[in-house]
Structure 1
Amino acid sequence: MRALKSLICAAALTLLFAPSYAAGYLTSVDGYRFDQGDAKLSPNGKYLALAIVNEGRRSLVVVETDGLNSVGGVNFGRWQDVGNFHWGTDERLVMEILHREEWDETPKFYGELYTAKYNGKHGELIYGWRAGEEQVGSRRKKKETIYGWAKLISLMPNDDEEILISSTEMPGGSELFEDRQKRDLVRGAQVSKLYSSVHRLNLKTRRMSSSYTRSPEPNTTYIAGNDDNLLYAFGGEPGTQVQMYRYVNDDWQKMNIGNGDSFMPVAFSADRTEMVYLDNSASQAGCLYRYNLMTQQKTQIYDHCDLEPEQLVLTIDQSNVYAVKTNDLESPYAIIERNSVEADFFAQIVDMFNGQKVDVYSRSNDGKFWIVRTQGVDDKLNFYLYSTSKNEFTQIL
């Protein structure tokens, strides 16, 4: 890891930090850069997990947030990389395993999920084509191999043992892994045309529940409530219009939302009563709306249209959009929501990183530690740790 750098805020931040609620839904396969680093705080803020890229290989290092002393990590060796990762509890991480082949330097995700404690101990495969292999030194009953892709739906913050996932079956199953070259046929474009099922997955026993339901569309994103029950789903094959559904009485009911072919949900409120989405409006593409899922009332929340998802700044739990990146050099962001701690924090720091894309990326539940991610014109991601007690930013990646 390169040397840590510190920079002190020029102005004091006098914010009232309130506890945050846990993320209701998270995407798994998409949304990360395997060739770049990543950083996430444990819910209690005690630990900081860092995805480190060294000589093209991606591993995980965990440090104590206060002092940045290393306490452990995960390294899968030469032919495997750490993919996207999340804190399942205050001390346990859940992550994807990416695989490399001799003829291809680009790692691929073959559906496997791995869990380990913050110190790297008690690591186990909990989902995937190798999950059924006997664990050395373990007396646990051999688990059935799963030929599929796992995708995280919810970390289920009220349950320390289970997470909610979708499982997409691999066409060809075990045949793909009898010959390593056959695995090269597994492409994301194929995955996006397949249907999935929903399960609970136990992090301790590695047991996966029977299916709750089957997806109403290929390439589905599921939305769960704070009680971890399924509420909504949206999806569709690439190049087709996204369809949205409500989960009622163990069945999917299609919803009539969106007027154009650019409809895309981007945020759901914490209580799941409102949704923010992009959609065509008249002849304009990419207008931003807020939709009340109870009253079915729609409101445009930003005057300008022709927006892309990457221009939107979301809360960490993806429950709201509070800023939009503009093309104005003097005012690079338009703040559209100020009634949240994250929006206030963002408004106070955005000028520090002039000319860069800025995200408030992670924070501890007590609000004492924050992570800010920036992206410059060179497309490189940088991560900064902010301590409220010290009023100090430290570059960590």
Structure 2
Amino acid sequence: MDSGNLAWLITASALVLFMTPGVAFFYGGLVKAKSVVSMMMMSFGAMALVGVLWILYGFNMSGVESTWAFAGNPFSDFGLASASSDDLVGALFGATFGIITVALISGAIADRAKFGAWMLFAGIFATVVYFPVSAWVWGGGWVYNLGTSFGFSTEVIDYAGGTAVHINAGAAALALALVLGKRIGFQKGINKPHSVPLVVLGASILWFGWFGFNAGAEGFGALGTEDTVVGLIVINTLGATAAAIIGWLIVEKLKDGKATSVGAASGAVSGLVAITPACANLTPGWALVLGVVTGAVCALAIELKWKLGYDDSLDVVGVHLVGGLVGTIYLGFFATETGLFLGGGFEQLILQVVAALGVLIYSFVIAFILGFAIDKTIGFRIKNEDELAGVDTTVHGEEGYAMA
């Protein structure tokens, strides 16, 4: 790897790592003032634990030698003792994806989860779900080779994590929301953000870091060559996100009578989610359409929890699961040259749907079993009286805004 590619990959890794504090700010602003420390600690806990596990064995698990292998051998280079310098930089980049995937899940169980139980879930989920799924999608596994397995002329497109990150996290979030149950007083209007500026700050950090998230993979060798698609990636990351804000705000204005800054921030995140798998395989115009559609669809999807009765506290399902599905399946219709409406047949659409559903079902089932087991043993949810008193003081002994 030349010095330019190496420098960019390190920079991109730092950008993606910074996204997890962005999630902490975004989620932290959305919850009650007496839950902000707990919410941010769940993101920082994921940074710590998943980072360690990735170095010990997760990176080894993220690549497979045969299409239908579950994961790589976790002990093949335990602790990365024999990895080359280039491999270590690649491991750094991969670690940041695993970290943010796990951190995203935490938004579904805001205000009511034990920190220790969350950390136990995070470590096991990373090991048995994220590390293998990353191998399936990017490391030579069944998703990566699905087109070949079907005898198709194309393969699944997931450039930066529509399946491995967002559908994966969103499905797990739904599972945990069902396991932990509803917050006390669950009803429409319960979810008033305690700090709108924190929400907007978090979304802004996410948008900033997402350029490393989407364009970072170009540091593995394509930068500076005629094969690079980095220009397309970065303009689509801008365009789809901007258009999603517009789509969300239009729906919000029509539905609620006001366009809000929290809606703008949520719309931006939904657009970022949707463009993640598609950033290198859409023309800029189709990326704008994807953004508008995703913003509008996700603005409507967050209402499902009130109709269906599951308490996804911070709309991880409505934004990440739905946004990830829209972005992944949209490629089946509009991917350049292979999409159904742009010169291809049904092959791309079939591949996108199968990959999305495969990851969704696996993540949901394992997360539900894992969450249920933790809840029935050490307990996953804090006591009702502790929830009313405030999870920050009862779990962490801290207050987000202690007044002298």
Specify if TM > 0.5. no
Structure with greater helix share of residues: 2
Which structure is richer in relative contact order (CA contacts within 8 A, separation 6 or more)?
2
Q: Which structure has the greater CA radius of gyration?
A: 1
Using the size of structure 1 for normalisation, the TM-score is: 0.28
